[in-house]
Structure 1
Amino acid sequence: MISSLAVFALTIAGIIWRPRRLSEALTASLGAVAMIAVGGLSVGEAINALEINLNVLGFFLGLMIVAAIAESSGLFEAITEKAVVLSRGSGRRLLLIVFGIGVVITTLLSNDATALMLTPVVFLLVRRLRIDPLPYVFACAFIANAASFLLPVANPVNLLAVDAFHLRLGDYLAHLLLPSLAVIGVTVGVFLYLFRKEIPASFTLATLPTRAVSRNLDRHVILILALIAVGYIIFSFNGWPLSVPVLAGALALLAITSIRRIKLTQIFRSVSWSILPFVAGLAVLVQGLENSGVTQYIGELFTGLLNHGQLPGALATSIGTAAGSNLMNNWPMMMVSVTTLSGIPDAVAANPGLPYQAIIGAALGPNIAVLGSLSSMLWLLILRRRGLNVTAGSFLKLGLLVTPVALLCGSLVLYLLS
């Protein structure tokens, strides 16, 4: 267990701090090899972990291609430039609009889509406007997780609890709609206060180059994005592979670009291919942690916290899942929470809000540390590729100020509803 933990910790540290400027993908791949070398898992188990995660890899591949084509079509530039017009030169209003766009993308296309699609366009926009980018790019990362339990499909990790406890959409919304809105409101409010000095009172609209992006907007991109969102919802509720509608949409968009004689090489150059080995390496590392008994040990600690009454049990579920997510990523931690709660059906029957508390913890908790969710790590990679080196320490500092308040608020609202 110790050797597996050491490999995992050193790999994550290398991804975050990048010694000798090693790429994140190379660091994750080397960490996966090291996990096999120390006996955390065999080569066969590593291959099996990759096979299990083929759906995830396909999902990201399709999403990156869709994002690249949507960006080249001018869709997101049109949206953000419209946001600038609606902001009427107010930095505060622009930040609120970025939050709103993030909520919509996260709800319909997942938090990972917000990291991949919204972050680079917002960064490009604020750089053109010559204003401090940090409040706006941090907003992309934080709203991606804060809004990721508004619907079951807003975050793939939600589906672990939805499937395990057979949660219906009506019950899901009855439990989590108000807590989600409360969490979004708290997150936005705290952001506005913490960044009150960095957010410009006004900016000059003339600094944004005038381009006829909206007039050249490809309606086929909007249509296919809408179909992907619908397909994503349908496939999620039926337990089908989520990569299928995204990859189908990507192929459809590639076909359209070919017909219109747009150079596919330009599209493929804008795809962050390094994300695939990065995700694959993380999958092997997480499997090594599970094999070494780390997740089982955390599950035993978690079970002991649930036997102290309904309110302490509810808070232990949400806060415990959030804390574990920041230590080992929200995917394995959500598996631990689901397994633990499934083993105490009487407690869940007496307090039916517990699975929803776990969803809040796994979805929102990662807003403390970059390690917590894949969307946050993708966000970090995307910004680094574009020359903005946001440190893990600055993310952690902001996360500790924003997330505990939002988490407590959401958990208490859910407890009262339950």
Structure 2
Amino acid sequence: MDAVRLAIIGGILLLFGVLAVAFGVLPLEDALAIGDRVWPILVFVIAVTIVAELAATAGVFDVASAFLARLSRGRTWILWTLTVVLAVLATAFLSLDTTAVLLTPVVVATARAHRLDPLPFAFATVWLANTASLVLPVSNLTNLLALAPLGHPSPAEFVALLGAPALVAIAVTVALLVIVHRRGLRGRFAAAPAPIITDDLQLRVAAAVVVVLLPLLVSGVPPWIPASIAAVVLLGFFAWRSPGVLRLSLVPGSLVVFASGLFLAVGALEAWGSASVVAALAGTGEGLVDLLQLAGTGMLGANAINNLPAYLALESVASSSPERIAALLIGVNAGPLITPWASLATLLWHARLTALGVAMPWKRFVLLGLVAAPLTVGLSVVSLWLVRGA
């Protein structure tokens, strides 16, 4: 799904929502309430995307990846392990789309420069882009949406709720990746030349902005505020230093249109009574079986349509307790590992691999996901229940 198709789908959904308001299916005050809820989220998505894109243009990710290669001292498994750590950090602080879109080409290029198989590195970025997105509120758009039914917890409170499941999801993902790619992680490699940086000052400024931004995203301040300031700073600097880099495509317009249309469309469907249907699927209660049922429904919904509409459709039946919201997030965040469309990050990741000439058959992706998704989601829910509900 490219940007044009995403924008078209979003436009159709937006039109559906507008018609629902016009014909009284979705009351105007409810539509305005949806807008009031989601505008800070969309502003954050735009701002953090601009920051990540400009940081990548400046070479921040290239330099970080080259540093990891030097740190590994020619041992493949150490380089892969450090790449995993970088993918987790990028996902946690800069969102799963940053990992899928910007980090993937960097780690593939690093692997190729050192004459290594790029697939173990590419698989690590896409799986961890999804499963590591449970770590912080800013890691995934679904997390930001969940802040409202959770009562707007602080980052520390969010981690207290989902910290154990996030660690389990990451650990299970890494263990499965090691099993699948164990042969490709053996051996040593020769050092490759350092990446070419055309503007050292640009690199330093972009790196400094990212380093300052990361702790501010978990400071308790609404994330859209520091992200917007960081975006304005980098836009101003690049306008002076490299104005040719600035282009309209830095703004994820298709994603904003898609998300806006989706919010309105789901609101209209709920007004039509869809909540009673999904309630029968998702169940009630906070026991282990109940949480597994809800997370499993979220996982199946994400792989059937997409994780964002799956979350929105199930939020109303999950908002009765923090544990149920957490179980839903586990399902829609860690579960989209089976179908290509389950997560926008997966589609963006595959598009980058195709552009780089890396073959990734969807059959292999699906078969591995059929093992990874239920195992990751199930064990993460068990950890949630043990910490919060047992």
Shift of 1:273: 5.2
Shift of 1:75: 1.8
Shift of 1:385: 3.7
**2: CA distance, partners of 1:410 / 1:68:** 32
SS class of match (1:165): coil
Task: Establish whether residue 119 from structure 1 lines up as the match of residue 104 from structure 2.
Answer: yes
Residue from 296, 319, 335 that aligns with 1:319: 296
CA contact (8 A) 1:165 1:355 kept: yes
**1: CA distance, partners of 2:41 / 2:354:** 23
**2: CA distance, partners of 1:59 / 1:303:** 34
Q: Is there any run of 5+ residues in structure 2 with no aligned partner, and where?
A: 23-30
Alignment of 1:10-409 (within 5 A): 15=1, 24-32=2-10, 42=19, 58-166=43-151, 167-205=153-191, 208-211=192-195, 216=200, 218-234=203-219, 237=220, 240=222, 242-259=223-240, 262-265=241-244, 267-268=245-246, 275-277=252-254, 279-281=256-258, 283-284=260-261, 287-288=264-265, 291=268, 297=274, 300-303=277-280, 305-307=282-284, 310-342=287-319, 345=320, 348=321, 353-388=323-358, 390-409=360-379
Cα displacement string for residues 231-265 of structure 1 (whole angstroms, at most 9, x for unaligned residues): 4335xx56x5x544334322212322344xx3321
Most deviating of 85-94 and 379-388? 379-388
**2: CA distance, partners of 1:175 / 1:36:** 33
CA contact (8 A) 1:111 1:144 kept: yes
**1: CA distance, partners of 2:126 / 2:272:** 26
Residues 337 and 391 of structure 1: CA distance in aligned 2, closer, same or farther (over 3 Å): same
The number of equivalent residue pairs is 377
SS class of match (2:47): helix
Most deviating of 50-59 and 116-125? 50-59
CA contact (8 A) 2:91 2:129 kept: yes
Shift of 1:223: 2.3
Residues 382 and 56 of structure 1: CA distance in aligned 2, closer, same or farther (over 3 Å): farther
Shift of 1:185: 1.1
**2: CA distance, partners of 1:100 / 1:187:** 12
CA contact (8 A) 2:12 2:261 kept: no
**2: CA distance, partners of 1:54 / 1:243:** 10
Q: Which letter does structure 1 place at the counterpart of 2:243? A: L
Shift of 1:31: 3.8
Q: Which letter does structure 2 place at the counterpart of 1:120? A: P
**2: CA distance, partners of 1:367 / 1:119:** 16
Q: Which letter does structure 2 place at the counterpart of 1:338? A: E
CA contact (8 A) 2:13 2:258 kept: no
Residue in 1 aligned with 2:27? none
**1: CA distance, partners of 2:67 / 2:252:** 30
**2: CA distance, partners of 1:296 / 1:140:** 38
CA contact (8 A) 2:335 2:376 kept: no
Q: Which letter does structure 1 place at the counterpart of 2:296? A: I
SS class of match (2:246): helix
SS class of match (1:131): coil
SS class of match (1:367): coil
**2: CA distance, partners of 1:203 / 1:296:** 59
Q: Which letter does structure 2 place at the counterpart of 1:373? A: S
**1: CA distance, partners of 2:156 / 2:333:** 19
Q: Which letter does structure 1 place at the counterpart of 2:236? A: A
Cα displacement string for residues 156-192 of structure 1 (whole angstroms, at most 9, x for unaligned residues): 3113333213245554333322221122111101101
**2: CA distance, partners of 1:371 / 1:298:** 23
CA contact (8 A) 1:77 1:121 kept: yes
Cα displacement string for residues 186-225 of structure 1 (whole angstroms, at most 9, x for unaligned residues): 11011011112333522222xx223575994733222211
Cα displacement string for residues 96-125 of structure 1 (whole angstroms, at most 9, x for unaligned residues): 111101111222222222223312211221
Q: Which letter does structure 2 place at the counterpart of 1:314? A: L
TM-score (norm 2): 0.82
TM-score (norm 1): 0.77
Q: Percent identity at matched positions? A: 25
Q: Is there any run of 5+ residues in structure 1 with no aligned partner, and where?
A: 1-14, 16-23
Shift of 1:412: 0.7
Residues 120 and 219 of structure 1: CA distance in aligned 2, closer, same or farther (over 3 Å): same
Q: Give the CA RMSD over aligned residues.
A: 3.5
CA contact (8 A) 1:57 1:280 kept: no
